[in-house]
């Protein structure tokens, strides 16, 4: 199963046939599942990168999450309106699981010089040195909330589903996190 499909953004990627495709995927139709999840793979890699801070591990986590989603799509509730929050929850859990298991950091081999993918240019530009330092001061949940909402363009109700928090808590944490980041963002803008 190859799900490395590039998509512009999450919002509006899946069309009105999502319900029909979801029903087919629940019955074991792999092409229908790929049509649903394929456009979400790149945003899933970005989400996993936010948690893991390692692009190669993020890609692996997104691929593992796609496989886990395929295995459990039959158990997805019938009244699920969109596959996006469900899939991003699996991605976030997979990335957190990888983050907890430190064995891969111990056995890592040296990276080959060329031919390896790097984080997209917009990520490197947005996360300047000062902003990166400020982001590290946030806790994992705050970083996850900011990434889901501002980078993946998820509405607050979907961010709440992915994080397992209430929408009110998500809104409050996002507000506090952005207030703590504001001095770093102001500094980078005035350089």
Domain ranges within the chain, ordered by starting residue: 1-106, 120-191
**pLDDT on residue 53:** 86
Task: Report how far residue 100's alpha carbon sits from residue 57's, in angstroms, rounded to the nearest whole number.
Answer: 13
What mean pLDDT value characterizes the chain? 78
How confident is the model over 99-143, as pLDDT tens digits? 877 544 444 444 555 555 565 555 555 546 667 778 788 888 998
CATH topology assigned to domain 120-191: Arc Repressor Mutant, subunit A (1.10.10)
CATH of domain 1-106: 1.10.1740.10
pLDDT at residue 186 tops 70 = no
Q: Which residue blocks in 27-166 are alpha helix, DSSP H?
A: 30-37, 41-52, 55-72, 83-100, 103-106, 121-126, 129-137, 140-146, 156-163
Q: Is the pTM of this model over 0.85?
A: no
């Amino acid at each position: 199963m190859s799900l490395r499909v590039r998509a512009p953004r999450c919002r509006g990627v899946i069309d009105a046939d999502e319900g029909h495709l979801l029903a087919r995927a629940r019955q074991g139709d792999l092409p229908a599942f790929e049509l649903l999840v394929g456009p979400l793979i790149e945003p899933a890699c970005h989400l996993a990168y936010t948690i893991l801070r390692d692009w190669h591990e993020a890609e692996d986590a997104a691929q593992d999450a796609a496989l886990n989603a395929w295995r459990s799509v039959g158990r997805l509730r019938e009244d699920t309106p969109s596959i996006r929050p469900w899939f991003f929850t699996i991605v976030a859990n997979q990335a957190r699981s990888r983050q907890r298991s430190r064995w891969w950091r111990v056995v890592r081999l040296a990276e080959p010089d060329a031919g390896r993918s790097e984080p997209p240019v917009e990520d490197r530009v947005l996360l300047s040195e000062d902003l990166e330092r400020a982001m590290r001061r946030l806790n994992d949940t705050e970083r996850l909330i900011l990434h889901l909402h501002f980078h993946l363009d998820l509405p607050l109700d979907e961010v709440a589903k992915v994080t397992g928090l209430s929408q009110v808590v998500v809104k409050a944490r996002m507000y506090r996190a952005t207030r703590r980041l504001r001095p770093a963002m102001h500094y980078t803008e005035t350089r």
